[in-house]
């Protein structure tokens, strides 16, 4: 049986949920890392409460879980370099660019992120 060649797809992971209280953000990050191992064209959009995922200095001791924010610094090692944060979502939640972790984030308006979503072959909402 011949081995099939893996076809690269344009994939966007859309992070819409806050990082704690549900498993969505953590699971989304895990799927991104697994998918990146298969050499796909991956981007991530942080919209709605998903922008809280990027907030720096998150202290999870009060909720009794281990934080996973440091894993975002490994994305570049997996060649996941297209990270987009929604300007309106940040403003609505009182966050500024300096409140976020120091990874290569591009800041865009909702309409710009929507256009990027239209260009994708696969969208994964988390």
Residues 26-64 have pLDDT tens digits of 899 999 999 999 889 999 999 999 999 999 887 666 666
More confident residue, 60 or 85: 85
pLDDT for res 64: 60
β-bridge mates for residue 100, sequence order: 55
The rounded distance, in Å, linking the Cα atoms of 13 and 104 is 16
Q: Which of 35-39, 74-78, 104-108 has the highest mean pLDDT?
A: 104-108
Please give the model's pTM, rounded to 2 decimal places: 0.88
Task: Please give the full DSSP string across the chain, using - where no structure is assigned.
Answer: -PPPPPPP-EEEEEE-S-SSSSSHHHHHHHHHHHHHTTT-EEEEEE-GGGGGGGBSS---GGGT----GGGGGGGGGGT--EEEEEHHHHHHTT--GGGB-SS-EEEE-HHHHHHHHHT-SEEEE-
Under the banding of pLDDT at 50, 70 and 90, the label for residue 118 is very high
Enumerate domains of the chain plus CATH numbers.
Answer: 10-125 (3.40.1260.10)
Q: What is the mean pLDDT of the chain?
A: 90
């Amino acid at each position: 049986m011949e081995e099939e060649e893996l076809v690269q797809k344009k994939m966007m992971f859309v992070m819409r949920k806050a990082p704690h209280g549900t498993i969505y953000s953590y699971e989304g990050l895990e799927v991104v890392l697994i998918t990146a191992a298969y050499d796909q064209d991956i981007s991530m959009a942080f919209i709605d409460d998903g922008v809280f995922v990027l907030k720096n200095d998150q202290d999870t001791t009060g909720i009794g879980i281990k934080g996973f924010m440091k894993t975002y610094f490994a994305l570049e090692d997996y060649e996941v370099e297209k990270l987009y944060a929604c300007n309106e979502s940040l403003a609505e939640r009182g966050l500024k660019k300096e409140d976020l972790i120091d990874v290569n984030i591009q800041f865009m308006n909702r309409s710009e992120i929507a256009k990027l979503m239209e260009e994708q072959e696969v969208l994964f909402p988390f």
